[in-house]
Every structure is written in C-alpha cells, then in structure tokens.
Amino acid sequence: MKKIGAEILWECLEREGVKTVFGYPGGAILPAYDALKHSKIHHILVRHEQGATHMADGFARASGQVGVAVATSGPGATNMVTGIATAMMDSSPIVCITGQVGSKLIGSDAFQETDITGITLPITKHNYLVTRADELARTIREAFYVARSGRPGPVLIDITKDAQQSSCDFNWEAAKPQLPGYRPDLSPEAAEYKKALDLIQNAKRPVILLGQGAILSGAQREVRDLVERGGIPVAMTLLGLGALPASHPMNLGMMGMHGEAWVNHTIQEADLLIALGMRFDDRVTGNLKTYATNAKKIHVEIDPAEINKNVKVDVALVGDLREVLQKLVPRVESIDRSEWLDSIDKLKGDSAVRDIQNLPDNGHLYAAHVINDIWRQTKGNALVVTDVGQHQMWEAQYYKHDQPRSLITSGGLGTMGFALPAAIGAKVARPDAEVWVIVGDGGFQMTMPELATIVQENLKINIAIINNGYLGMVRQWQEFFYERNYAATPLLSPDFAKLAGAYGIRAETVTQRSQVVPVVESTRKHNGPVLLDFRVEQEDTVYPMVAAGSALNDMIRRPNPLEETAADE
C-alpha cells in the first residue's frame, strides 16, 4: 500500500508500541506533524526540546519501554543534545526523531540546517540520516531494536523533509531489521563460570556491587537469590538503588563519593568484589590506585567495552545479568559468613543509623528532614525523580528505595534541569504512580517552563524544591577546596510559589520543620500538581565525602557525629 513517509513514521511508531511522544514542531518536521491527524499517538507539546528528551528518558526509566522525542531541524535538534548525552551516559533507551532540510539542500547551509547526525555521533548508540521514504520503515524498526537491545541507549533518526513528503510502498514485514554486525546477545564460556564459582566459594570477605544493570536486566529475583544463598552483603550504586530493597538485611547502602562510610570501608577490606551491572564510575571507586587492592574481582556486564576499562578484573562474565545469574546462582554453595557480616556491623558504629528524627528541632529546616519526612509519609512507595546536586545525594541517603525504577536520576552526566521533565515522562509512563520531584533551586530554574506542560497535560506531579539559595553542591566544593570563595554560587530565585500560581499550580512555601508533615499530606491529597518551596538551611553540607582523587576510605566526615546519626524505623 502506498503511503507518504510522514504516515509511515507514525504507523511504524504505533507498531513499535508507542502511545505517547514528546515533541516540538517546526518547518522541517511539519509534514510529520500534519500526518499526526491520522494517528492514535498522543503528542505532548513540551516547552523546550531538551525537555522532550528528558521526558522520553524519564518515560523509559520508569517503564523499561523506549521513550520517543520529536523535534525540528537546526535549533530544535541541537536543543536535544543535552538530553541525548544524559540518556547515553545512563544507558536509557530513547529514540529521537528530527526533521532535516530537503535532501537536495543538505550541505548548502540551508535555513535551519545542522548536521545533527554528525553532532550526536559520539552521544548516540547509533544514528541515521533518512533521505528517502522507502528507507523509513526499516530504519525505525532498527532504531527501536538497537535502542532496547543489549546495553540500551539513545538512537537518533534525522528525516529529510522530502523523505517525509514523498510516497512509496509500505510493507512492515519486509522492513525487518538487518544488522549483521550488531550482536547484543553475548553469553560467557563455561570455563568463566567455573572461575567465578571458585572465587565465590573461596572468598572470606565478599561484597556484591549492585548497579543499574540489575534493573535494566530485570534481575531483582536472581540477585536476591545470590545474596541469600551466598550470604553476601551488597553495596549499591546510585543508579542501582531499588534493585535490592533498602530494607533487605544484606543491603548495606550506597557506595562511593557520598556513600555510607561503612560501605566504602567494607569495599576496601573485601577479598572479593562481585560487580553486577555496574561500570566502576569514578564517583564509585575514588582513586583507582588504592581501590580494593586486596580483592579479586568478578564483573558481570553486558557491554564488553566496560570490562577492564576502569578496574582490572579477574573474571568477566559478559552477558545479560539475569541470564548469567540464572546459570550461576544454583551452583553457589551456602556458606556461613557471619564473621564477615559481624565485622561490617562493627564498622557501622555510631553512624549506622541516621535518626535525624530524634534530633531536637533547633528552628532550622534541613533538607535531610524534608526528604526523610517525604519518605515516611509516602511509606517509600513514591516514584522519586531528582535533579543534580546536594538534594540528589540527600535523597539517595534519606529516601529508602525498596522498588526498582522508583528512583530516576541523572547519574553519569549529572544533568541539572533533568528532574522536572523526566518526572513528566515518568508520570505519563506510570499514571498510577505517586510521582515526586526533588529538585534544587538552581536546577529547577533550568527547565521550569515545563510547568506549563504539566498543566496542559493535567498531570498530578508533586514538586519539592530544596531551596538553599545556592548552587549548593558547587558551594560545598568551594567550602572544602577553594577556601570558601563562593564565586557565582549564591543564587537569586523568584518567589516559586507565586510563579506556580501564575501557571495555576497550587503552591506553598515551607520554612518550619513542624510544617513539613502536614504540607506533604495535603499535597498528596490534592487532586492536581502541587509545588512546595522548602526554604532549607543555606550552608548545609553532604557528608560523608570522598574528595575527588582520594582513596575510597579517606572520607571527610561531619564534624559533629551526632548530626549524622539516625535510626530509621
């Protein structure tokens, strides 16, 4: 059957299971927008194309499905770059569709022409320039296959205006992906399993390092089986949080730069690290020369490029984590490791528990209080989307995640402005979820126009601005490493409650500790979006901290240990 390229585009997206796309129109993509009238797909109009990419990313992280963003050529396409790089760093499957000038104009500096496939080459898993309608169906099918298979990631399809306008025969079946050079389904040799089992059996002080790969692979049950069968404690990466419930007795908490002190000490004292779907980011290892020097290392990882990239390992099991664990776990012997577990308990000491609840109310509002109260009030069942900075680290420390895909955050690129749009994507993916945005006063101002998108789409999203009047995380680095020279970090903001009012969003400003619980409760009950402006302590600091380049066990600790201790119920 004959169709024009623009119609083929939407039909292929529908056949790939897409129900919603996030986008912004313009000349080079207008034929596609015109053809949208024949499609069942819901188009959400964003306020900036960066927002569209973060929404697609939030959608993907919340659901495990591919998220889709659409933009025009030139500035529309370049506005997507930050969102694409964010998705690339955190292995998030999105497909970005951009309009391009007519194929005959390419290379002529035509109006709004930019080489977006060239620009995004290093930040996409793969990208395409489509200049003919009859190439579209196969390209779209390939793009979805590449985005979601193996190690997921962003794919961009740039479609010239004439490819959208011209017609051709459309045959979905005949357009099957053909990618002979792409082999995402790897599986390890039997000998590697044997080596891994020997190391596990002989280890006295093993630790599992659990990362986002466990969530992407859907390996929660298999991970739990390994932990319980082997009696092996678990340290989590930021992006792994939720892959094993925080409440599981073997879950030690987060590792790394702002991880728990006892977790970092445990890693440094281990004789075996079992890294599962994590990539030894520098925020996680600290100085590589001093990293877990007494430990053998096993790395289970789907992307061969990650093996021996940062940390040299003794055994690599390259494949999908769930499949690898299904083969490995039944062969792991139960071993009593209580001596090792007891010694970890001792490491915890006073800082094992973070009971800020028991601290007297000294009239100050701390970010940790706010986040911990949100955790208590939502009973840990919310889907939290955070931005980047101090509040992001406090969220990781004070909101306990028991479910996978319940924390969405930009880890690898650390993209300020991510939270608000990503939360929109997450809410669209999971309309029944209670979605909370936890965002700094700085990052919020980077993408706050998306408040209008929330209102236009009538989305119930709760927004907690942790307003400390600073670009807090940068101020913290200046405090520690630049003699408190607070250059360009004090931050003027509008009255956020009034701003929300202008959008028709209910809002409140909170300055007292005693207000937090009632305001969180009324926010949850309100049938519509709510913005809360929490005016928190301005010069508060995230502890512990491993300074960049320091050994993992060399942590800057809070001067008054009482404030760091706290019992969770």
Ligand X SMILES: Cc1ncc(C[n+]2csc(CCOP(=O)(O)OP(=O)(O)O)c2C)c(N)n1
Q: Give residues in contact with ligand X (CB under 6 A).
A: 387-391, 414-417, 440-443, 466, 468, 470-474
Q: Is 89 in the active site?
A: no
Shortest distance (Å) from residue 443 CB to ligand X: 4
* C-alpha to C-alpha distance for 409 and 256, rounded to whole angstroms: 16
Q: By CB under 6 A, name the binding residues for ligand FAD.
A: 90-91, 151, 211-213, 216-217, 237-240, 254-259, 277-279, 281, 283-284, 301-303, 306, 320-321, 388, 392-393, 411-412, 414, 473
CB of 502 to ligand X, least distance (A): 21
Closest CA to 268 of 292, 298, 284: 292
Query: 465-480 burial, b if ≥16 CB within 10 A, otherwise e?
Result: bbbbbbbbbbbbebbe
Active site residue 111: yes
Based on the residue annotation, tell me whether 323 is a catalytic residue of this protein.
no
Task: Give the residue among 390, 371, 363 at the shortest CA–CA distance from 489.
Answer: 390
Q: Residue 220: which of Mg ion, ligand X, ligand FAD, none does it interact with, CB under 5 to 8 A by kind?
A: none
3-class SS of residue 303: coil
Cβ distance to ligand FAD smaller for residue 129 or 318? 318
To the nearest whole angstrom, how small is the minimum distance from the Cβ of residue 315 to ligand X? 35
Contact 276, 214 (CB under 8 A): yes
Question: 278 is in the binding site of which of Mg ion, ligand X, ligand FAD, none (Cβ under 5 to 8 A by kind)?
Answer: ligand FAD
Active-site position among 80, 278, 473, 555: 473
Residue 529 in tokens:
């979006």
Query: Is 534 annotated as catalytic?
Result: no
Pairing outcome for strands 506-510 and 530-535: parallel
Asked whether the beta carbons of 421 and 447 are under 8 A apart, the reply is yes
Least distance (Å) from ligand X to the CB of residue 366?
12
Q: DSSP label at 564?
A: G
Structure tokens at 24: 């912004």
Tell me whether residue 275 or residue 356 sits nearer to ligand X (CB atom). Answer: 356
Options 16, 49, 222, 306, the catalytic residue: 49
Residue 441 binds Mg ion, judged by CB under 5 A: yes
Q: Which of 111, 189, 201, 357 is catalytic?
A: 111
- Residue 283 site contact among ligand X, Mg ion, ligand FAD, none (CB < 5 to 8 Å, cut-off depends on kind): ligand FAD
Comparing C-alpha atoms, which of 216, 214, 148 is closest to residue 182?
A: 148
Stretch that binds Mg ion, among 279-287, 304-312, 437-445, 551-559 (CB under 5 A): 437-445
User: What does the alpha-carbon distance between residue 562 and residue 483 come to, in Å, rounded to a whole number?
Assistant: 25
Q: Nearer to ligand FAD by C-beta: 498 or 557?
A: 557
DSSP 8-state class, residue 21: E
Among ligand FAD, Mg ion, ligand X, none, the one that 213 touches (CB under a kind-dependent 5 to 8 A) is ligand FAD
Strands 167-169 and 2-4: antiparallel
Q: Specify whether 250 is catalytic.
A: no
Residues annotated catalytic, as ranges: 49, 111-112, 161, 473
